[in-house]
Amino acid sequence: MSYLERARAQLAQIESMHRRRSIDGHPFVDAIDFSGNDYLALSHEPQVVEALRRARSVGSGGSRLLGGRHREYYLLEEELASWLGRERALLFSSGYHAAIGVAPTIGDLVDRLDSDELNHACWIDGMRLSRTPRAIYAHGRPPIGDGRSRAIVTESLFSMDGDAIDVARYRALLAAHDVLILDEAHALGVLGPRGAGLAAGIDDERILVMGTLSKSFGCFGGFVAGASDAIELLVNRARSFIFDTAMPPALATAARVALMLLAGELGDRRRAEMRETYAHLHAGLASLGLASSAEFSPIVPIVLGSEERALAVAAKLREGRIEAPAIRPPTVPRGSSRLRLSLRADHRKEHVDLLVERLRAAMA
């Protein structure tokens, strides 16, 4: 059997399980989008767009350790570190690159990696690159330490369930030789004072924060922030930093403008608007008998169970000008296929009303 025959056999198997994805087709330009992670709607904010337009070059010229040394990176790293209250920050070309660089590098410094069962695939892949033994714990229930040094790896706001952890409680579980690797990708910009996430105000060198520039910043890229020595080790050991071409410097400039906006009055105003919209959505879903948390989150899952049902409801919504794609295994556990609604600052109550109306019809 040739490799293409094997590929077709695997595709047929994926199709039979209703799990086949496609990137074909055109965007639904006239649809109300509840699928994107541009939470603060900064990707089309005029000041952010103008910063990108003023770019003098497109490519970076190489890795940060070779030709890709640009002033824009260092300025953004300083500003990110200050915003988060950490000693230092380091840019990666994406959040995925950050995770697969951090997990094996920090993993080599401890005896064990403890990972939440619902962590993003980037952490699963990163830990697979580590030689350190790892254990998977039940969602939101990290184990008590056993005297060996360990790294607890967790998201602060989980990307598919929209639930948040109590960072202070996790910190209390750390021994002096432990570390908490905290993925704040979906919390930054949305939660915490000035949008600085759920670890904001917790000054502890045992906490490493990973974030992205592709969500609330409306840009692209990733970063890690923490103790200066830990960041310096990543510069020297993280393969996804050392051997990767640096992100375009123009994106770093745009991200600096986005950070200024999201950490200021505009960000505060949009976070307040999102909370009001969320309360309206919570009430609308309750009227349909659908559960959602009373606690604000930009991520609202509607768990439907089977792949077939999730696909059918998503298709009916799309017919009604609502974009809310079906999320299926392996992205979520088997039997928990869902719609994942992402709230953004440019959603209005009338958008939510239309969503609820279309959901009522789609689930009838």
Domain harbouring 174, CATH code: 3.40.640.10
Does 28 have pLDDT greater than 70?
no
- In this structure, the answer to whether residues 228 and 284 fall within a common structural domain is no
What range does the domain containing 355 cover? 28-42+265-362
- For residue 37, indicate whether it is catalytic: yes
> Which entry of 38, 114, 116, 183 is annotated as an active-site residue?
183
- 157-186: pLDDT as tens digits: 999 999 999 999 999 999 999 999 999 999
Q: Are residues 238 and 96 in the same domain?
A: yes
The one catalytic residue in 60, 93, 159, 216 is 159
- Domain end among 203, 237, 262: 262
CB contact at 8 A, 184 and 191 = no
Give the ranges where 129-191 is alpha helix by DSSP (H). Answer: 167-172
List the alpha helices (DSSP H) in 137-217.
167-172
- Out of 120, 282, 347, 351, the active site residue is 120
Task: Please determine, for residue 29, whether its predicted confidence score (pLDDT) is greater than 70.
Answer: no
Catalytic residue among 38, 155, 161, 307: 155
Spatial contact of 215 and 188, defined as CB atoms under 8 Å apart: yes
Q: Which amino acid, one-letter code, is at 79?
A: E
Active site residue 18: no
Same domain, 232 and 287: no
Q: Is 244 a catalytic residue?
A: no
pLDDT digits (tens, 9 = 90+) for 88-122: 999 999 999 999 999 999 999 999 999 999 999 99
101 Cβ contact list (under 8 Å, min separation 6): 92, 126, 224, 234, 238, 239, 240, 241
Q: Is the peptide bond before 330 cis (omega within 30 degrees of 0)?
A: yes
Domain boundary among 262, 292, 311: 262
Whether residue 44 lies in the annotated active site: no
β partners of residue 225: 89, 209
Confidence of residue 25 (pLDDT cuts 50, 70, 90): low
Domain count, the chain: 2
Q: Are residues 132 and 206 in the same domain?
A: yes
**Is residue 141 domain-resident?**
yes
Token duo for residue 182: 């905290």
Tokens of 158: 């989980």
Q: Is 236 inside a domain boundary?
A: yes
On whether both 124 and 35 belong to a single domain, the answer is no
- Bridge partners for 90 per DSSP: 224
Domain end: 214, 245, 262, which one? 262
Catalytic-residue membership of 120:
yes
Which of 70, 215, 280, 282 is labelled catalytic? 215
Helices (H), 129-264: 167-172, 228-237, 239-242, 249-262
